[in-house]
Structure 1
């Protein structure tokens, strides 16, 4: 006959708590995904964060321009140093100096070259201050530190597939822009107004499901297919 256990000591609740923790299932986290996807943090105002456009790094144009500038500056500095060392200047610099000495500022060639250089500079400034990546549409930011984008081609494919599911639609052409989605459909039966109403409902729901930060304006055009020539 066994004796009943005595009253639980002060360590008994702690031991039971440890046993309960060890018996709980362990959830493993996929380390390849972002941690914020598993631990969402709400914003202070309770809404989604503002999703701006993606900025292009423009590595190729910037790298090519930097190489051209460095090469030209290095060649010019080398020629200046050679002249300072009592050596003749390079032929291209002597030819350029003599040629520029014969030109006047009001000549068409000089004005055209100055205009081309000015346009090039303005284009480079526009590239530097604009985000770029126009083909990538930003999506809503429901979680901080997580940004997602959708390519225009993919969004156009989704809208085209949804439009083809509407009864009466034969062919669909979709042009997806940042602020406007133009859909042109051809219906081979049913009334055009009914087909257009169904397309408005289906494509409006599809745009909402895409989760874009700035859903584009929807423009739907429905017509009949061209008559076949006999």
Structure 2
């Protein structure tokens, strides 16, 4: 008994697959461009004020101890006991020493320095490591830490071809960038870094964008 097969199953035959002719190239979606949206600023972004918890705690403890010691001595005197020796010595020293005495001048200088330090802490905002960002909403305030801003600038600098390493030191008004380039021309690398860092600084959204100070050098040489 023989089994019949169709011509397409015969030995040596091949099945031709349909060929799809390439059509005209369709334009793909446009490449995404890095663009920082221009959001209008609302109000003025001021620096963040520090709570000054450590200095306030130290001053509070010292004042509490001094006031407690004086209060205890006053209560002891009112109950018929003698005043403590240190308070009597202090009163005698203040009564007998002239104003131009060395120790009196030293004590006055220390007290004045402490008073100026407390006034400086009370009148300055502090939190110098937090950079205020632009206000785009009246009820929202945002800040960016200096280390985070420096990390962003360093990462963007490392994306430039030819940059071997980069170091960024961020300040309130200036960002110092030091880069090492190992195979491209320094002028070309510097030109690319200028554009990239300017875009990166604008992308941070800071209220007062820092000026960028850039230096490019070869490895093993000082910038």
Residue number in structure 2 paired with 1:27: none
Deviation at 1:199, TM superposition (A): 0.8
1:31-78 alpha-carbon deviations (Å, 9 max, x no partner): xxxxxxxxxxx9xxx742211111111122212211211221122122
Find 2:112's aligned residue among 118, 128, 142.
118
Residue 79 of structure 1, CA deviation: 1.2
Larger helix fraction of residues: 1
Is the contact made by 2:41 and 2:134 (CA closer than 8 Å) also made in structure 1? Answer: no
Structure 1: any 5+ residue segments left out of the alignment? 1-41
- Which secondary structure does the structure 2 equivalent of 1:140 belong to? coil
d(CA) in 1 for partners of 2:117 and 2:155? 38
SS in 2 for 1:173: strand
Q: CA deviation at 1:102?
A: 5.1
- The SS at the match of 1:218 is strand
Q: Which ranges of structure 2 fall in alignment gaps of 5 or more residues? A: 1-38
1:145 aligns with 2:139: yes
Q: Which of 53, 60, 67 is 1:66 aligned to?
A: 60
Q: Deviations over 1:76-114 (max 9, x none)?
A: 122123223331011221232344455332233322221
Q: Which moved more, 1:179-188 or 1:96-105?
A: 96-105
- Give the corresponding residue for 1:217: 211
CA distance in 1, matches of 2:107, 2:191: 56
Q: Which shifted more, 148-157 or 79-88?
A: 79-88
CA RMSD of aligned residues (A): 1.9
Aligned equivalent of 2:148: 154
1:16-55 paired onto structure 2 within 5 Å: 47-55=41-49
Structure 1 residue 185: deviation in Å?
Answer: 1.0
Q: Kindly tell me: are residues 226 and 47 of structure 1, through their superposed partners in 2, closer, same or farther at Cα, counting changes over 3 Å? A: closer
Alpha-carbon distance in 2 for matches of 1:139, 1:175: 18
Aligned residue for 1:106? 100
The residue aligned with 2:69 is 75
Q: How many residues align structurally?
A: 183
Once the two structures are TM-superposed, the CA of residue 166 in structure 1 deviates from its matched residue by 0.9
Secondary structure of 1:199's counterpart equals helix
Instruction: Mark the structure with the bigger radius of gyration.
Output: 2
